[in-house]
Structure 1
Amino acid sequence: MGLQKLWLKINGADRMVVCDTEESLARVLRRQGLTGVKVGCDAGQCGTCSVILNGELARSCVKQMKTIADRSKITTIEGIGTPNNLDPLQQAWITYGGIQCGFCTPGFIVSAKALLDKNPNPTRQEVRAWFTKNRNICRCTGYKPLVDATMAAAKVMRGEATMDDITYKVPADGKIYGTRFPRRESGIARVTGLANYGDDMSLQMPEDTLHLALVIPDVAHAKIKSVDYSEALKMTGVAGVVTAKDVKGTNRIAFPIGHPRAECTGLERPIICDEKIFKIGDVVAVVAADTRDHARAAAKAVKVDYEQLPQYLNQLEAIMPDSVQIHEGANNIYLKWPLKKGADTKEIVEKAENVVEGSFYTQREPHLALEPDCAQAYIGDDGMLTIQYKSQFLYGNINMIAAGIGVPAENIRIIQNETGGSFGYSVSPVTPAYAAVCALALGRPVSIVLTYPEHQIVTGKRSASNSNVRLACDKDGKIKALEYKLCYETGAYVEYTQILLLKSLVCMGFPYYIPNIRGVSMAAFSNFSYCTTYRAFSFVQAFTASESIIDMMAEKLGIDPFDFRYKNIARPGETSSTGHEYNEYYYHEMMDMLRPKYEEAKKRAKAESTLAKKRGVGISIGAYILGDPTDHASVALELCKDGSFVNHNTWQDVGQHAEGSCLMLTYEALRPLNVPLEKIRLEANDTKYSPDTGLSGGSRMHYYAGAATIDAANKLMDLMRKKDGTYRTYDEMVAEGLPTMVEGYASSPQGVTKFLDANTGQGFAYHEKLYSIYMAEVEIDSVTGKTKVLKATCVADIGKIGNLQGVEGQAYGGMSHCVGFALKEDFSDPKKHSTLRGAGILECEEMPDEIELIWHDSVRKWGPFGSGGCSENFQSSFHVAIINAINNAVGVRIYELPATPEKVKAAMEAKATGKELKPEKYYLGLDLYDELEYLDAHPVPDEENF
């Protein structure tokens, strides 16, 4: 280590710093309190750390101090604008939806500033090229709003518009519901770099805080013989090493599985491994030291002696007949759920005029949040174990870890940190469990921040899937039968498995009328990662098989895939795959809206296709469901002495615009009182003070939290209302002994739904559906096989739109994940895929700038002000439209995702020789008919709420 003293002009002020020559500029700036410089990948791949260095944009996380000249000039986000004096770029980012989770926001604004300093009048393509060249990555927005914001700010900076022109204004009628209402206070904090995310909070912790580092053996399946940490204890700054023996509770993360066919309990997952390592990324010890560097150095000195066991890095290996059980007492296919509708399909399929079959694979999809996982834990002044984490299920996380760490749930408090993206993975309380265990074992506050490679192997992923599907159709193009086996690889542990399979039963064959279905959805263990929730949970995998086989049948029949879908989409009164009648159902109207766009796109593709660049058009049906029989939410609303109102909730904001939506719903619910917007504020996401609003996932939160907010507002206004129709003040409420805070409640309508039958898959499990139809226009390079998505079109029905900016952001972001999933994102190699770029994160120019959203307007009768949910719908199936468009362009179908250039090129080359690269049917255990015969012979009691 060599130290140097430098004078740096930071944001216009001369500052002296003393630093290690090997340190990064990002670390030095953050130590100066400039935490607007975010560190995500710590490898120069995401741009969250962007600064302007001597007039040039630089990624400060890979800029070592020995390369920084004395008297260098540095501009960070803190030097561009302040909360009371925003720069046009900062205001535009708020107004045009450039902020979702906000973790990338400071880096993007700094980058845009550097661009506009050089080129004050860029084209949209020049902005996109700049962000791509400088590796500014956003996982939330789909990039379009960021380009919109840059272009709008540039107009102000050129004098062609004013700040007032790019600032949201409440409409004259006072109605903000259904408008592009932006974030307020949290938006300002994000665009000025003042929002404190997890690693920023680690800098706020007291001096005696211990920093944690994980000990992760490089093995996927092994018996632990010993863990020797004697050398680690001797190293500088080390305060202790925590192993399984130090855990005060059961040392298990609880995710009980209640399906009567399940062969496991959901209590298989150790917090710190005691006897066995079950997967890549399992932890056997945690080192605590005075600094992060000391902890990580000591973690490398821990020696783990183990006996390696057979490791199965995918489910096809794990389910072979000679494979050993990963969890003792449970087969590696540990849950099977049959679907039976109509007549037995075997004879129908054998006699059908037209039959197509296919085998499909979807990869593990990494969430690729830019902020690596991090948490803090300590005993608060109230005696409660307090955990700060980017949780999107606060109360759920408490229940998952309480018994495992040995603390009663009522003595655990979780506070949500500002969250740099999640997309589902932070439903799993893995990192906070490590922090909690160490805080209890060592009796001191702790902080843990994972490196990005650690984040990739420790956190969960979207489960991979394999499927075999057959579709039968008559000579007129009407579907007669569907058969399938669909197996989800859930990795080493159980999370939401029964919901995963339940949703697949609803999705397979949706939304077509298929009179006869025989299928089985299954879940299998492997030693690679673990399945956790991810936007459009389960539907992504099921739609890959379902919407691909639909396109294949249309091709076999020589019918346009649009027309084939139109012919077979269920009519009102016809029944779904799970046997309930379709009603309030809009797909034909939505397809009518899309048809002229589709015809134009086909003509455009034909006219612009060349030998070198082949163009094609693909479509797919999408959807999502919400409203299971047990779902509910609570929200508290408080009247304060100054006449303001406070909404208390655990509507966890993970970038989906929870703040804006919550304020809009509260404002709208209190309209009879004419409460000014500035008189409403939120106190959210602290379980000590906030009621349980449930999971921020499954597209449920606006729906249930909104209804609970309306219920709370109505209850409070009923208490405030006088006989003459006027309303009591706070003082009058207190004087009359009336409560000034009430709790609102919302739940699924009773008696409407029930979970699907465990033996047949029939029933009506979700009372609300979200609908979408996608169209992808693509271009294929005939030489390399590389696919470029040129335009994305979506027709959607989600009920009444509450916050248009928020909904558009979820649409752009969800569809961007689909592009990445279709073409490049993967997590199958823990070394190759340990970084953002290695795992295939989508860059700005890889997402189309032309995205058209078309809204079909309807009302959800149980939703707040007619609204439904939103997010999941927009990631359900656009990826299949892309795969179908590739086939339309070059006549090859990609059966195994992602459709990398190598796969597309190999398929085109095979086609040129008269062959087709088509996978053999996946081995998924017994033949479908044998499987169903066995399951029929072993029925289980069907419990309504398993």
Structure 2
Amino acid sequence: MQKYHVKTVRVNGIPNRVIADPEEKLAKIIRNQLKLTGTKIGCDCGQCGVCNVIVDGKVVRSCIVPWKSVAEDAEILTIEGIGTPTKLHALQWAFIVHGGLQCGFCTPGFIMASKALLDENPSPTREDVRDWLQKHWTACRCTGYKQIVDSVMDAAAVLRGEKEMEDLAKMLKPGDSVWGSRYPRPNAVYKVTGTWDFGDDAATKLPEEVLFAVPVCPETHHAKVKKIDIAAAEKMPGVAKIVTAGDILANKGTNRIRGQVGSPTATTDGWERRMIVEEGDKIRQWGECVAIVCAATEKQAREAAAAVKVELEELPVLLHVKDAMKPDAPKVYDEIEEIDGIRNCFNKRPLIKGNDPKAAIDKAAHILEEEFYSSRQPHLTLETDCGFGYYDEEGRLTVQTKSICVYRHLLMISRGLGLAPSKLRVIQNNMGASFGYKVAPTNEHLIAACVLATGRPVYMRLNMKEHIVRTPKRSPFLMKIRIGANENGKIVGAEHTWYVDHGPYSESSQDLTNKGGQFFLAPYHVDDLRGCGYTFFTNHRWCGAFRAYGAPQTYWGCETAIDMLAEKCGMDPLDFREKNLIRPGDTFPSGQKSEVYPLQAMITRIRPYYNIAKKRAAALSTAEVKRGVGIAIGIYNSNDDGPDDATSNIELTRDGVILYNTWEDHGQGADIGCVGTAHEALKPIGIRPEQIKLVLSDTAKAPNSGAAAASRCQVMVGMAIVESCRKLLDAMRRDDGTYRTYDEMIAEGIPTFYEGYWKATLRNNEGEVQHCTDMDGATGQGYPFANHMFGIFLAEVAVETKTGKTTVEKFTLCGDVGKINNFLVVDGQQMGGIAQGIGLAIKEDFVDVKTHNNLLACGLPYIKDIPDDIQLIHMETPREFGPFGAAGTGEMPLSAPHAAVGNAIYNAVGARVKDLPITPEKILAAMKK
């Protein structure tokens, strides 16, 4: 007999009598019983603070507080009790105007924690704010934290009566541009008030027929599945169906996911990823699904999933690329041929530019030959993988998830499910960040298979442990680099071999492997290059897209090598870089000229900061704490490799315009990207930003604009938006240059709907306009990118000589991303990228699934891990083939900040660590050497 605790509590000032399981956590009672979904659930173990509420004046992480611990007559305050979209609290207002939010999933938790602080201390210092948020384990993966502190400080000033809250609706005067401003993103007001529904929130509003789905995933890296016994589990309470591979095969599906290999040198066709592993087949990584339990409640589904019996034959495990390439290594796939006789290698990318550099390097005055290793960085989104599916009004199987490429996902899973693409619909839910992992179908195929098998709506949500161990990670690179420089410090040639550990699937591996060639020494003039990248199967976690995709690995190797070579030449690291910079007319490793050459001006701009930083480090260093300064340069692309295109449509209405596209938003600001671009394009007719309505990321309503990846959307979708606006304006324009109204367009029978289309466009080495091309399979030469982003990273660190503990005390980024659409967005992207780069440098890793299965163990950076002193220097060189001169911004900030941190650590204590992360133990070991 279940016994319940009944208590009267005041929730947001309103008395409530609540009857609940005494062991149920307060967060779930608030969400599921009180229906206040502004309180989010992330980690479920008190490590992220997204569930923060205030109970009797104290900040409480409600995901770890059982109902039995809540006092009778307790006062509970949630985000809904702070303010509303039409009546904002000062904190909510300040988070909007300072860009203290991006994806918005953690925002209610930060506002609740900050409210409790300001109630207790109306005049906090910045360090008070940081200490408070650290104390209450309140985490953000998007912002870099500085804007959050800015928001709290400004809100405090408002509450003290020292500052007025500006009316958001009047922030833009008539005739002003949204473009180039700090105009808030349209969804910000809903995120700060907790009214922006994420996937788990939307699921609470599904029809009562919905089933909860739990995948059955045996805990093994590599095993043959001998038997799957679902008999006992099927009979358990609430179970409606246990879905297996047999259900997919019965629907004439292939039970495979289309893998996007796209390489002429690959020995796999990209269809090796199973949707659900069958009896007789192999599990090839931890967290592989063999069945899915669909039941009435999550509790029932999890209990039944635990009762499914899976008989396994354990097989040898490969968890490192060095093990995978050994001649006697077991094969991850017996049926896939090796490349160049290398075990478990399924693809390669040669790089040939200029003459063979071997002889020049051999004769060079200074030679650097080293090996580097980058880690398997986890994404660590605070919203876990979740989504749901159902049949829509036209009988289409509809899947709503965190997809950041809705059309691509539709095509990747339809054949495997046995569905015609026209019978499948994919919609992006409002989402709590991705950082690229959702380029991959992670749950779309599983949810769809359950809907097919049951005929009912189905919801699936992984808990944080499952989310971390079952979703893709950044691919580790093992890099062998050899560079020569002459007696004057000029690079005479370079060689690079890189080995990519991609886990057991080839999906998305080709573009990733390309990056090891495309960005190897990309900031420098190097006429003669030779290199080759090899891609391997292992049994570690499959690796998918992660912000800056391939660049952090490549720059970790080459920007560390550049520092080491500068030392061999007896030169300052910044001077050495400047001496070897690419100059106008120089080409990248792909043989392509850059569309702009801003690096010389950027070095000139950052040099005073660098000189001051060196003086500061020398002045503050002691025997116990050494300070150091490090520099690194990163370049990244702003379109998908090779041919890339996008479509965006516009419709004129009586109230304004509607934009239709799939600029998927995973926190980077797709809404303001669309609004800022369209508002600028439509300035001749005086459209206000609030008159621009968005219909985004639904394959039934919007055209295919491509994926929100490769920092491509501002350029590709932006140019398509501009083209659609141009067509509309041409149609509206009268002979005298004035413009028709909507009613006049209708009266004259002039269409009000126009399609915009753009293909990635550049000027080739001869100055002719052309579209991007694929790279040559034999040489790696071609015209893969229309636009690039440039960054110079300056890190200042303190290292404790006894412990090896490193603190990044200040970070400066000089960036050039073309003309800036929205400074709040660009600042947030750049600070957030720096924070992730610091995490990659010194904290984050995913090695042991039994250890690295929570946010803390994986090294998620909290606010005190990231400096409050982050300085951004924007240089806006216009791009010819970007909307109003823009490039992208999202990935450049994570291209090379970690290399700057590593170089700064060496500058501080002389410890050169060549494999990530740079832990205290590694620093101490290197210091001893």
Seen in structure 2, the aligned counterparts of structure 1 residues 585 and 42 have a Cα distance that, compared at 3 Å, is same
Q: For residue 650 of structure 1, what is the aligned residue in structure 2? A: 662
Residue aligning to 2:35: 33
Alignment match, 1:127: 129
Displacement of 1:168 after TM fit? 6.8
Deviations 1:551-580 (A, max 9, x none): 001111221001010111122223332223
Task: State the secondary structure of the residue aligned to 1:871.
Answer: coil
8 A contact 1:792–1:852 mirrored in 2: yes
**Structure 2 CA distance for aligned equivalents of residues 683 and 578 of structure 1:** 38
Distance 1:166 1:826 in 2: 41
For residue 753 of structure 1, what is the aligned residue in structure 2?
Answer: 772
Question: How big is the alpha-carbon RMSD for the aligned residues of Structure 1 and Structure 2?
Answer: 1.3
Report the equivalent of 2:304: 298
- C-alpha distance in structure 1 between counterparts of 2:587 and 2:86, whole Å: 57
1:167 Cα deviation (Å)?
A: 8.0
Conserved? CA contact 1:92–1:167, under 8 Å: no
Q: Supply the AA of the counterpart residue of 1:753.
A: C
Q: Is the 8 A contact 2:786 2:881 kept in 1?
A: no
The alignment status of 1:240 with 2:241, answered yes or no, reads yes
Structure 2: give runs of 5+ residues left out of the alignment.
339-343, 762-768
2:416 counterpart (400, 404, 409): 404
The answer to whether residue 687 in structure 2 is matched with residue 675 in structure 1 is yes
- Residue-by-residue CA offset, 1:159-190 (whole Å, 9 max, x unaligned): 00111288871146412210111122x21211
Match of 2:889 in 1: 870
User: What's the offset of the Cα at 1:659?
Assistant: 0.8
Partner of 1:330: 337
Indicate if the aligned counterparts of 1:95 and 1:168 stay in contact, CA closer than 8 A: no
2:468 partner amino acid? Q
Deviation at 1:62, TM superposition (A): 0.2
TM alignment of 1:140-289, pairs within 5 A: 140-164=142-166, 169-171=171-173, 173-184=175-186, 186-247=187-248, 248=251, 249-274=253-278, 275-289=281-295
CA distance in 1, matches of 2:25, 2:714: 41
Query: Is there any run of 5+ residues in structure 1 with no aligned partner, and where?
Result: 916-946
Q: Is the 8 A contact 2:642 2:775 kept in 1?
A: no
| Cα distance per residue 1:419-473 (max 9 Å; x no partner) | 0110001111121111000100111110000011111122111111111111111
Q: Deviations over 1:680-737 (max 9, x none)?
A: 2112122111111111111110111111111111111111222232322223322333
Query: 5 Å matches for 1:667-746?
Result: 667-746=679-758
Counterpart of 1:514, as a letter, is V
Counterpart of 1:512 in structure 2 is: 524
Contact 1:271-1:430 at 8 Å conserved across structures: no
Alignment match of 1:68 (pick from 64, 70, 73)? 70
Distance in 2 between residues matched to 1:720 and 1:753, nearest whole Å: 33
Q: How does 1:427-466 map to 2 (within 5 A)?
A: 427-466=439-478
Match of 1:533 among 531, 545, 552: 545
What letter corresponds to residue 183 of structure 1 in structure 2?
R
> How big is the shift at 1:794?
0.8
Q: Distance in 1 between matches of 2:236 and 2:557?
A: 53
Q: Is the 8 Å Cα contact of residues 595 and 879 (structure 2) preserved in structure 1?
A: no
Aligned match of 1:594: 606
Percent of residue pairs identical = 44
Q: Quick check: 1:232–1:302 contact (8 Å CA) kept in 2?
A: yes
Does 2:599 align with 1:558?
no
Q: Is 1:320 paired with 2:294? A: no
Task: Render the CA deviation track for 1:847-869: whole Å, top value 9, x for unaligned.
Answer: 01111111122110010011111
- Give SS of 1:584's match: coil
Alignment partner of 2:630 out of 618, 631, 636 = 618
| 1:11 correspondence with 2:18 | no
> Which has the larger displacement, 873-882 or 307-316?
307-316
8 Å CA contact 2:346, 2:535 repeated in 1: yes
Deviation of 1:347 (Å): 2.3
For 2:840, the equivalent position in structure 1 comes to 821
Provide the secondary structure at the position in 2 that maps to 1:742.
strand
Q: For 2:922 and 2:644, how far apart are their aligned partners in 1?
A: 42
User: In the alignment, which of 635, 646, 658 is matched to residue 633 of structure 1?
Assistant: 646
Q: Specify the alignment match of 2:860 in structure 1.
A: 841
Alignment-derived partner of residue 920 in structure 1? none
Code of the residue aligned with 1:160 in structure 2: it is E
Query: Partners of 2:743 and 2:588 in 1: how far apart?
Result: 56
Alignment of 1:794-943 (within 5 A): 794-908=813-927, 910=928, 915=929
Q: Give how far 1:767 is off.
A: 2.2
Deviation at 1:348, TM superposition (A): 2.2
Q: CA contact under 8 A between 1:168 and 1:181: conserved in structure 2?
A: no
* Alpha-carbon distance between aligned partners in 1 of 2:905 and 2:7, rounded to the nearest angstrom: 55
Cα distance change on mapping 1:52 and 1:747 into 2, 3 Å = same
Residues 642 and 783, structure 2, Cα contact 8 Å, conserved in 1: no
One-letter amino acid matched to 2:732: M
Q: Tell me the alpha carbon deviations over residues 788-822 of structure 1, each in whole angstroms, 9 at most, x when there is no partner.
A: 00111011111111101100000001110000000
Secondary structure of the equivalent of 2:502? strand
Q: SS of the counterpart of 1:241?
A: strand
Select between 877-886 and 64-73 the one with higher mean Cα deviation.
64-73
Paired position in structure 1 for 2:341:
none
- Contact 2:792–2:815 (CA under 8 A) maintained in structure 1: yes
When residues 166 and 157 of structure 1 are mapped into structure 2, their CA distance, relative to the original with a 3 A threshold, is farther
Q: For 2:78 and 2:587, locate their aligned partners in 1 and report how far apart those are by CA, in whole Å.
A: 58
| Structure 2 counterparts to residues 377-416 of structure 1, below 5 A | 377-416=389-428
Correspondence 1:33-52 to 2 at 5 A: 33-52=35-54
Deviation at 1:521, TM superposition (A): 1.0
Q: In the TM superposition, what whole-angstrom CA distance separates every residue of 1:481-515 from its partner, at most 9, and x where no partner exists?
A: 11121111111112221111222211011111112
Q: Answer whether contact 1:643 1:729 (CA < 8 A) is retained.
A: no
Checking the alignment, whether the CA contact within 8 Å between 1:168 and 1:182 is kept in structure 2 is no
Task: In structure 2, give the amino acid aligned to 1:83.
Answer: P
SS at match of 2:422: helix
Q: More deviation in 172-181 or 614-623?
A: 172-181
Structure 1: how far apart are the matches of 2:818 and 2:740? 35
Q: Across the two proteins, how many residue pairs are aligned to each other? A: 908
Inter-partner Cα distance in structure 1 for 2:657 and 2:405: 25
**Residue 204 of structure 1 aligns to a residue in which SS?**
coil
In 2: Cα distance, 1:69 partner to 1:870 partner: 48
Aligned to 1:100: 102
Residues 570 and 582 of structure 1 are in contact (CA less than 8 Å); yes or no, is this contact kept in structure 2? no
Give the match's secondary structure for 1:164: coil
Supply the AA of the counterpart residue of 1:308: E
1:257-303, Cα deviation, whole Å (9 max, x unpaired): 23111011110000101211111111101001000111011101111
Partner deviation per Cα, 1:838-895 (whole Å, 9 max, x = no partner): 1110000110111111112211001001111111111100100000000000001111
Contact preservation (8 Å) 1:177, 1:664: yes
In structure 2, what is the Cα distance between the partners aligned to 1:171 and 1:622? Answer: 38
CA distance in 1, matches of 2:240, 2:667: 36
Q: Which amino acid aligns with 1:254?
A: R
Query: Given that residues 398 and 412 in structure 1 are in contact (C-alpha distance below 8 angstroms), is that contact kept between their aligned partners in structure 2?
Result: yes
1:82-126 per-position Cα deviation (integer Å, ceiling 9, x unaligned): 111110000111110012000000000000000000000000011
